[in-house]
Chain A
């Protein structure tokens, strides 16, 4: 399968005589001994360091996004009262805060953590090679991402403050400073988003090329762990969908700063064009972040359920089908934007169709759980919660995908609660599953299980207590972009304000319990019990490397692969319920 000249015996050195001097590079961590700490942690080309850079930047941005939601939820629950840590929230503040929350959580938390950090960490380790194929482009990708973070943060400081036109940036609100009141912030926001796209395009090309060309000898298409497949499919989806929005971003900046009229109907433009460009990217983007989360669940459920993944190929083909269909659903965001009703019919049908592959994945995971010997470890709890909570998000999406019901629900808190039931499980629940599962590999130590479970239960319960009231509020017509509901008597009917307070109080609990996670995370990095190579007794290749893996990943030589990643409880293995991918078959048996 691998056509290169290299041959790697399972243990002991490389048969590698190329003249590029990379043998040094592949052997353990030498060559990096006497590096300055700045070069090692900030200028590194090692995929694991770049993962950490993305991970910690993403966590930092989650603090910003979390602070924003704290301030504007306080305003909604207690309108006009000064918010501790912020003061009185003006209407402009409110707009900037909701915009910041939305764009930060999607572009600067979900994307960098789920795709960039995990992709960087897992792809080379799980396919058994020493690094990404383009380590310097990988470094450049993070550096561009970091610049986008800095531009976004600086936009808080310019005249008028950070962009206040919502994360979807619909013109004319986003295009005219007279409407959004953030003349500089709006352009800086578009620039930051565009830079972020460039960073992920570079990263995505690296990921896809790495998987295609650099798999360990013996690793066939269906021996690739599902999470790697999912990250790759997500990268391709991102690449194929983001282009029109890059073009749209250029057009929007010209509208804002030069005075063109791409989106101005009075001068021959069309504001709905932006909505098409945005959602042509924006809806596949949902699946860009969903698929890695689904992949994480597949890994965690199999390892902690000690069972082979049910219907590997079905999951793979389903994921590809989801990706393709996701390009034909975008206009369900625009049912009330004045699109042709015949087009709305078509998009209703496609939107309902896409729930089939997603439901199929959920069924496959339930089938995997059937008859599994489940260990309720912290990562397993998160993975199980992901399936249940995401299901709620998917089911409520059916109402919104149907154009008739959507006309009533559009832009209410029902929509907001729906997509938080998809994005919170994706960006937080699945991410926590991943962090708790791969923590021993990343840092060489175990996290505390008891505190992990406290964090899990409080987070999950508080999350539901935030958004179930918001579903009910939305069904009663509460509009999602209102700064002060007390101005609207129809939004102050009996019980409505109580539900807003309930959501906000639950949010405060949710935020508070994240400190338990941070404490557990930081404590465990330095003082947790040492982890061996394979604390979960998992099959995939990353567990064959030392914890944490050194530069070059596999000091005993890059592994060969003999079987798929999910051979748990194999009848030939007797008492040993796992069968690592790199372990050669017993003497006399056929490979």
Chain B
């Protein structure tokens, strides 16, 4: 669907394209959302040393594998951006597909991991640690999913050589989703 862009969208008084500027503001608002839930978790965790008995049951190796998967997918997002800079739409689309595959792997691993934990009786209601564990990681998982969907849309356009500036924008968002995981991984898995 083509939509005639108003002149407002094309102006750049700050020197930064409108889309990228907006992505930074999206990230700013996301930081406070995750900041709220992680801040609450950290304050609780400090007040409840006995949660260590619960967190010992999280699987650090699966968490580490997922960290590796996400970081690799971010590398692909960077490569996609490099292709987009060279005006190579199909190349950018290819790397975006690899990034999406990384996200998919992350979600599959996560669902296997969660299935195991729920089978062993660690559900969202069993303890406030597990409530935070599922809520924070679940919120992050939703962001991964949303990023994948947007990435597919951007890739479809990029393949036709359209809206290549969006490759960088979705990449910035994807790095942010990565960084959130970099906070979640030590807080939920490593801190036993």
Contact = CB atoms under 8 A, between A and B. Distances in A.
Contacts of A136: 3
Contacts of A247: 33-34, 36-37, 40, 139
Interface stretch (B66-74, B108-116, B121-129, B172-180): B121-129
Please indicate which of the listed interface residues B6, B12, B35 has the most CB atoms of chain A within 10 Å of its own CB: B6
Interface stretch (B15-23, B76-84, B86-94, B145-153): B15-23
28 contacts: A2-B11, A3-B13, A25-B4, A26-B7, A31-B4, A45-B3, A130-B6, A130-B8, A132-B6, A213-B12, A213-B16, A214-B11, A215-B11, A239-B25, A240-B29, A243-B31, A243-B35, A244-B33, A244-B36, A245-B36, A246-B36, A248-B36, A248-B40, A250-B135, A260-B135, A261-B131, A270-B44, A270-B47
Shortest Cβ-Cβ A-B pairs, 8 listed: A244-B36, A243-B32, A247-B36, A243-B33, A247-B37, A131-B6, A129-B8, A214-B8
A250 B41 CA distance: 14
A209 B32 CA distance: 19
B191 interface: no
A155 interface: no
Given A26-B6, A242-B32, A273-B40, 20 more contacts: A21-B2, A22-B6, A22-B10, A131-B8, A133-B6, A133-B18, A204-B29, A205-B25, A214-B8, A214-B13, A243-B32, A244-B35, A247-B40, A254-B131, A260-B128, A260-B131, A262-B132, A268-B48, A270-B47, A558-B7
A3 B124 contact: no
A225 interface: no
B56 interface: no
A243 B36 contact: yes
B13 A268 contact: no
A449 interface: no
B22 to A, nearest CB: 5
Contact of B32 (A210, A239, A250, A261): A239
Contact of B29 (A206, A243, A277): A243
A35 interface: no
Nearest to B25: A205
A240 B48 contact: no
Nearest to A136: B3
A234 to B, nearest CB: 14
A277 B40 contact: yes
Interface in A228-249: 239-248
SS class of chain B's interface: helix, strand, loop or mixed?
Answer: helix
A395 B128 CA distance: 42
Interface string A362-402: 00000000000000000000000000000000000000000
A424 B40 CA distance: 33
A132 B8 contact: yes
Contact of A213 (B11, B30, B32): B11
Contacts of A14: 7
A276 to B, nearest CB: 8
Contacts of A248: 36, 40
Interface of A: 1-4, 6, 14, 16, 18, 20-22, 24-26, 31, 45, 124, 129-136, 201, 204-206, 208-210, 212-215, 239-248, 250-251, 254, 258-262, 267-270, 273, 277, 280, 552, 558
B18 A277 contact: no
Nearest to B22: A209
Contact of B8 (A1, A208, A210, A243): A210
A525 to B, nearest CB: 26
A240 B28 contact: yes
A209 B36 contact: no
A214 B17 CA distance: 10
Contacts of A18: 10
B125 to A, nearest CB: 5
B135 A133 contact: no
A31 B4 CA distance: 10
B6 A4 contact: no
B120 interface: no
A251 B135 contact: yes
A259 B48 CA distance: 20
Please indicate which of the listed interface residues B36, B40, B48 has the most CB atoms of chain A within 10 Å of its own CB: B36
Contacts of B186: none
Contacts of B5: 20, 22, 25
B14 A212 contact: yes
Contacts of B14: 212-213
B26 interface: yes
Contacts of B2: 21
Please indicate which of the listed interface residues B14, B32, B43 has the most CB atoms of chain A within 10 Å of its own CB: B32
A280 to B, nearest CB: 8
A417 B37 CA distance: 33
A207 to B, nearest CB: 10
A250 B139 contact: yes
A109 to B, nearest CB: 23
A549 B182 CA distance: 49
A260 B41 CA distance: 14
Contacts of A241: 32
A367 B29 CA distance: 37
Contacts of B12: 2-4, 213
Given A209-B25, A273-B40, A254 B4 contact: no
Contacts of B8: 124, 129-133, 210, 213-214
Contacts of A259: 125
B66 to A, nearest CB: 22
A2 B34 CA distance: 35
Given A213-B12, A243-B33, A262-B131, A254 B6 contact: no
Contacts of B16: 213
Contact of A269 (B21, B36, B124, B128): B128
A213 B21 contact: yes
Contacts of A16: 7
A244 B32 contact: yes
A15 to B, nearest CB: 11
A129 B131 contact: no
Contacts of B7: 6, 14, 16, 22, 25-26, 129-130, 214, 558
Nearest to A201: B29
A134 B131 contact: no
A246 B143 CA distance: 14
A131 to B, nearest CB: 4
B4 A258 contact: no
Contacts of B44: 268-270, 273
A213 B44 CA distance: 42
A40 to B, nearest CB: 16
A210 B22 CA distance: 9
